[in-house]
Amino acid sequence: MPVYGDLLEKYRPEVEFLAEKTGLEIDSVYIFQKVLDGIKTRAGLPEILPLPSWANDAEFIERVIKLHNALHASFIDIFLDSIGGWHHDQIVARFDEAIQNTTNHKMILYSSHDTNLMTLGRLLNLTYLKDHLPDFASYVSLELHEINDNFTVQIWFHPNLNESRIELGIPGCPQPCMFSQFSQLAPRVTTGQWKAKCSGPDPSVDTRCTLYGSIAGALVVFIILILGALLSVLWSCLAYRNKYNRLSDPERHKLLN
């Protein structure tokens, strides 16, 4: 997509610097983000994967992390409505099943990428998560609570295994965030709609059937209209003919007025 090339040009100075230092040909945003991700990952594992001397600087690492977050935010925003809408649909659907008592699940666990969580953060405008990719071993907890027959939603973020979780604010749904309001925060995208958006129409479905069916249906309606018109004309002709015969038959005329 052309927009990917635009992103690469946006960060051209950083791309050229990293290409020179790593010796890699960074000719796509995919390679660019791989380099940034590698630096960020190694910065968190200095004993196992130490950084090269040119990257082993706290200020430089901080700039890389900010750049990494900004680049992924730009990626996500390209498809935010569709991908984010699908994430939102899955969450709302599972909550709705619990409310309607159509499931016996007490908890549903998903293994996700950091970009999935950032997508959710950007779609719902969640504090912190909308601008930051979570680190390894992080999790996001979406909780449904019932209080006095009212259902509310809370979202908690656990940055890593050694810290307490924090509640994320939902600007579009002030506390207590009612489920009815939460479900309307963003348009929902079903799995079928997402697959069609991502991969195109299902190849197993022959679209010719739909086309031919539509044409056949239109022809049937057209034929019915034609038959109706012909019957109407025939009825009118018979009525006029009977009236004419009555008027033209002298035996039917009164002798005196």
Tell whether the model's pLDDT for residue 162 goes beyond 60. yes
pLDDT digits 0-9 by tens, 83-140: 999 999 999 999 999 999 999 998 999 888 999 999 999 999 998 999 999 988 889 9
Tell whether the model's pLDDT for residue 238 goes beyond 80. no
Query: Is 118 within 8 Å of 73 (Cβ atoms)?
Result: yes
User: 214: pLDDT confidence band, cut at 50, 70 and 90?
Assistant: confident
| Mean pLDDT, residues 154-162 taken together | 87
| Residue 217 half-sphere exposure toward CB, CA atoms < 13 A | 6
- Read off the tokens for 68: 């990494």
Query: Is 54 within 8 Å of 61 (Cβ atoms)?
Result: no
Is pLDDT larger for residue 191 or for residue 180? 180
